[in-house]
Chains A and B, each alone.
Chain A
């Protein structure tokens, strides 16, 4: 019984104190930023082939990762395995690609390339050093078997994400 009264008293006092909600706000800026430094271009060295290799008339895309904190992120970059824009294709398309470290802003990042993990069309790098890393992506497309690619515009996307470790 005493307990109930006390409880009631506490409730009354609480009401008399004009309780209010005090919000706490804050912003977190991203510690990992991704930019496209160089947009890729497909060259057409052969009728059934597209390639970003400069020798084939293409341009390798360059993706830049800026991380301001070490050991918190993994860079996951995927070379394309489908077209986002293309003419109607009636034959099979074979995709291939490669992601490599183009350059770094710190000598301590020079081990990234050797430590990368590749699976399917994905490549992952542990970003263990704060700074900037430039990744180069190669992409090659072969159409059918000795069949020319239909004329038209072809587009494909490289996917780059920053994964929290």
Chain B
């Protein structure tokens, strides 16, 4: 009892066992879509596990006749169910049979028929199917709305959309009031964090700019910053190869004597007396000295 109670608390399926109406009520051919319950929604699992039929055949006892009761296989070739009654050499009569088989998914059951091969007329035909229908209540809830349960697929997106489209503050009795409050707090927290991040980013950029300026103005550039040392090493390595550096050693510079071609003649250069007179005055001297400091 305790175990049952525990297991039932985790069971989200509603199982129904049932029998269909007479599939042959409108004739000897029928579509299973019109016979079995609708299992189109993904939260419904429908399986067939039994079949019963009854019909009356009217025929001449001396003739041959076979009656096939069958359903096409909806997925594969052939029939998923077929049973043949051989009435050859027998008088007509009413026959009814029951079949039980392992559960097979309803979507594998194709169209059904009662077909007469040879002599005979069928009347009062009855064909019914036994089925098990399992409705996954969890999936059904989620199919109605993903907001039904946090475990539903798409719950987060649906909740975000719901909260986004909420124009006014929800009532405290709103089922998603707590989520709305949490979302509002999260949004506020995000804004603060975003402001902080922007400030930190700005500060970091300013710091980097200052450091670049210092490097440019400081004259303390390292050799690595000015010269691509790797490239220089490559050049030196290339020059170190004997075939390339050899021409520098083997070059021959032709020798000889270089004769003087310029002749300077002795002469007298007179002093600039005017300049001497200007410089002899203190005023001009001070003006000239002051000009060094007043210049911008």
Contact = CB atoms under 8 A, between A and B. Distances in A.
Contacts of A102: 94
B96 A134 contact: yes
Nearest to B91: A110
A111 B90 CA distance: 7
Contacts of B87: 107, 110
Q: Is the interface of A mostly helix, strand, loop or mixed?
A: mixed
Interface string A14-48: 00000000000000000000000000000000000
Interface of A: 101-111, 113-114, 134
Interface residues of B, number: 13
A114 B85 CA distance: 20
Contacts of B94: 101-104
Contacts of A113: 91, 93
B91 A103 contact: no
Interface of B: 54, 56, 85-87, 90-97
A110 B97 contact: no
B91 A114 contact: yes
B91 A111 contact: yes
B90 A108 contact: yes
Given A108-B90, A110-B91, A103 B96 contact: yes
Nearest to B92: A110
Nearest to A108: B90
A111 B95 CA distance: 12
A134 B95 CA distance: 9
Interface centre among A104, A106, A109, A110 (most CB of B within 10 A): A110
A106 B95 CA distance: 7
16 contacts: A101-B93, A103-B56, A103-B96, A104-B95, A106-B95, A107-B85, A107-B90, A107-B93, A107-B95, A108-B90, A109-B93, A110-B91, A110-B92, A110-B95, A113-B93, A114-B91
